[in-house]
Structure 1
């Protein structure tokens, strides 16, 4: 462990090595394997987290196959540890970190390149991107929350809707979508949720959508016209494809559309309303705002299934199945 870390549980991190799921090369599910690797080094501005829960996102499969190799301007190195978001307890802090104490429950949004992600017993994250878990939230939910909730929050900020304006959340039963429904309702926005399956529709309604339809089965443009006869004010799109593109014609030409970077397939045609592509804000200011919303009312991260770390291959296979909400790994 790096000598710059000053505050540790019992004076030292329990093990100089840790269990982790690693890739030795990019490829299919079979490339995921468990073994012991050194703990990540803790810099002056870092927090070392003893991971209890980690999110499993659809992007993890693409990253596993090498789709992000070199995208962030950093060469990939092996062993490679996946996992963009997670939660657990502070195990150590760097010498310049004053906001956190050992043992506090925290969650974080990180980037696996170059220091590794949350598919491990420990993860190191810059303190700027670490936040305390709100008292009312279970750690198992917090571990699957960060990137999706912050992406949803950033999209709503970009759209800038006022109370009682209308929003279509396309992909409302997915990770970003089901959190966007709740965050939009917190702002008093009227939400039409386009979900997947009867269970997805039920989830969106339970989380506060004013109306919800099944994007695979229902006539989404007709439902949108009934919901907002003059046209919807905005859309937040979390799943691309032909159905999404047809649905976007229900947005008024003077409206706006938020499309997170990485949502595929990309638009093949231009809808009438302007489209803004964006990245989620994972700064301290953003997590402070998210936590204030969570603490002010009900907010749920719906975890469809949580797999033990040793069943990570099953978790990645489940990404191809129908599920609502998020998948997660139980690490500690």
Structure 2
């Protein structure tokens, strides 16, 4: 191990064991257990992050139940550590890493296979997928941001809209959705936000949506026809189901629909507009663009609730409750 990988802030050595929440098998919430495990190995191109906050997301529960087992072409190994998003400080860097120094405040997007996720005191990620936290952003927000924000940004790139084009963000009060609203408005796109609950409508409006409706109570097609009488130019869908499928009838036949992979269920009947499924880009190019937007705008991550790591089971229970924005785990 390179000598730069053996020191933390202040010159003290990184402990070789860390506290983590692990799975010894896939299953229900009770399979989440806390114990000490070895730190992940740090390669020449890696950054070791001392984690302060990690995101807790709906896909964590899907993964916990084993539905991603083998999905990425890599065999699952145990103990298995969940967690795709995190922020904290750099604890160590590999010998080829020059962009980060020990002590830098960073956030990252990772995949729990094969080297473990971020439900732990430390996490390792290739430097390509880490980024400095913008000065104006609190660490708890950065910890719950990466995958949703980058997926929203990739979806907007796919749609290739111009200023004053019209966009429906379906699921606008969720993690991905409330970030998509802000990124779209930053580009001058007119946004119809379809949110969940009165609190979701209030959040979407506060974050800049031109019009926001409660998808549980309002006829979305009627709202869309008033917002864009000639039809909407595009949609970014963050939640599937019958209401979403009906709402997509509001998109022009010549329009476009961005549908992130993993958003289920897919429409039973294909909309008249073109549907494009995609993955979020988590490269340095993407995080550089995201950071520039954050620095130039009032972009925020709405963290609804934060749980200490020892209450991770409560966090997973809360994933099935109604909330707006994101849930987070406080680790450091």
- What TM-score bracket applies, with the shorter chain setting the length? over 0.9
Q: Does 1:291 align with 2:291?
A: yes
- TM-superposed deviation, 1:12: 4.8
Structure-1-length-normalised TM-score: 0.98
| Alignment-derived partner of residue 275 in structure 2 | 275
**Does structure 2 conserve the Cα–Cα contact (< 8 Å) formed by 1:19 and 1:34?**
yes
Correspondence 1:29 to 2:29: yes
Distance in 2 separating the partners of 1:249 and 1:74: 38
SS at match of 1:249: helix
Cα shift at 1:158? 0.2
Cross-structure match for 1:77: 77
Name the residue aligned to 1:56.
56
**Which residue of structure 2 aligns with residue 8 of structure 1?**
7
Rounded to whole Å, the distance in 2 between the matches of 1:209 and 1:237 is 15
Contact 2:51–2:87, Cα closer than 8 Å, also in 1: yes
Instruction: Please give the alpha-carbon distance, in whole angstroms, between the structure 2 residues aligned to 1:254 and 1:7.
Output: 56
CA–CA separation in structure 2 for the residues paired with 1:208 and 1:13: 46
In structure 1, how many angstroms separate the alpha carbons of the residues matched to 2:201 and 2:240? 18
In the TM superposition, 1:14-163 aligns within 5 A as 14-163=14-163
Instruction: Give distance in 2, aligned partners of 1:71 and 1:291.
Output: 30
Q: Distance in 2 between matches of 1:14 and 1:70?
A: 32
The secondary structure found in structure 2 opposite 1:280 is: coil
Q: Deviations over 1:4-37 (max 9, x none)?
A: 7547224454311000000000000000000000
Contact 1:13/1:91 (<8 A) preserved: no
Equivalents in 2 of 1:213, 1:266: separation in Å?
A: 22
In structure 2, C-alpha distance between the alignment counterparts of 1:151 and 1:278, rounded to whole Å: 9
Q: In structure 1, how many angstroms separate the alpha carbons of the residues matched to 2:104 and 2:29?
A: 34
| RMSD over equivalenced CA pairs, Å | 0.9
d(CA) in 2 for partners of 1:76, 1:37: 17
1:182 to 1:266, Cα distance in 2 relative to 1, 3 A:
same
SS in 2 for 1:91: strand
Residues 5 and 42 of structure 1 are in contact (CA less than 8 Å); yes or no, is this contact kept in structure 2?
no
Aligned partners of 2:40 and 2:124 also within 8 Å: yes
Q: Indicate the residue corresponding to 1:315 in structure 2.
A: 315
Q: Do the aligned partners of 1:91 and 1:102 also contact (CA within 8 Å) in 2?
A: yes
Structure 1 range deviating more: 13-22 or 131-140: 13-22
Deviation, structure 1 residue 117: 0.6
Q: Which deviations, in whole Å up to 9, do the C-alpha atoms of 1:105-139 show, x marking residues without a partner?
A: 00000000010011000000000000000000000
Partner of 1:234: 234
Distance 1:118 1:325 in 2: 19
Give the structure-2-normalised TM-score.
0.98
SS in 2 for 1:262: coil
Deviations 1:285-322 (A, max 9, x none): 00000000000010110000000000000000000000
Unaligned runs of 5+ in 2: none
Name the CA distance, whole Å, in 1 between partners of 2:252 and 2:193.
17
CA contact (8 A) 2:152 2:180 kept: yes
Distance 2:4 2:39 in 1: 13
Q: Is the 8 A contact 1:148 1:176 kept in 2?
A: yes
Q: Does the aligned pair in 1 maintain the 2:53–2:139 contact within 8 Å?
A: yes
Report how far residue 266 of structure 1 moved. 1.3
- How far does the alpha carbon of each residue in 1:147-167 deviate from its partner, in whole angstroms, 9 at most, with x for none? 000000000000000000000
Q: Secondary structure at the match of 1:86?
A: strand
